[in-house]
């Protein structure tokens, strides 16, 4: 299975794993799954840290890639096709970070691991 972590899922995985659903923990623990963290989530973390909306130890520029690597998560860059997918996306979710994650999941055939009910309204596979 090819999985895309929502930003909150990544943050819980690295710091508060008990907040993950049992199903999400089980799927993320399977070595045969490919797990991605979008650069959109890295950007969201950096923005929230810089605005004081996220408590974070250390420099996100160093820590996010280290934690991603530590957990065997691959980086997913934002490509033009995914970005342009936003023009076809209905306005069901106001968060631009989440909307871009949905675009990437659609473009790359990924399942989003998220508790976000608004994301479930899109034509994308969601796991929680």
Task: For domain 2-127, give the CATH number.
Answer: 3.40.50.1010
Give the 3-state secondary structure of 28-51: HHCCCCEEEEEHHHHHHHHHHHHC
Q: How confident is the model at residue 101 (pLDDT cuts 50, 70, 90)?
A: very high
pLDDT in tens, 56-88: 888 999 999 999 999 999 999 999 999 999 999
Instruction: Give the pTM.
Output: 0.94
Residue in the block written with tokens 């999985």: 3
Domain boundaries, the chain: 2-127
Q: How confident is the model at residue 92 (pLDDT cuts 50, 70, 90)?
A: confident
């Amino acid at each position: 299975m090819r999985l895309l972590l929502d930003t909150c899922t990544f943050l819980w995985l690295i710091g508060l794993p008990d907040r993950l659903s049992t199903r999400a923990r089980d799927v993320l623990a399977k070595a045969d799954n490919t797990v991605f963290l979008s650069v959109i989530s890295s950007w969201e973390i950096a923005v929230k840290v810089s605005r004081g909306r996220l408590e974070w130890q250390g420099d996100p520029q160093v820590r996010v890639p280290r934690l991603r690597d530590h957990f065997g998560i691959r980086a997913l860059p934002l490509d033009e096709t995914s970005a342009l997918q936003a023009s076809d996306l209905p306005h069901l979710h106001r968060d631009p970070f989440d909307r871009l994650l949905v675009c990437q999941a659609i473009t790359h055939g990924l399942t989003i691991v998220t508790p976000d009910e608004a994301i479930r309204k899109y034509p994308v596979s969601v796991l929680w």
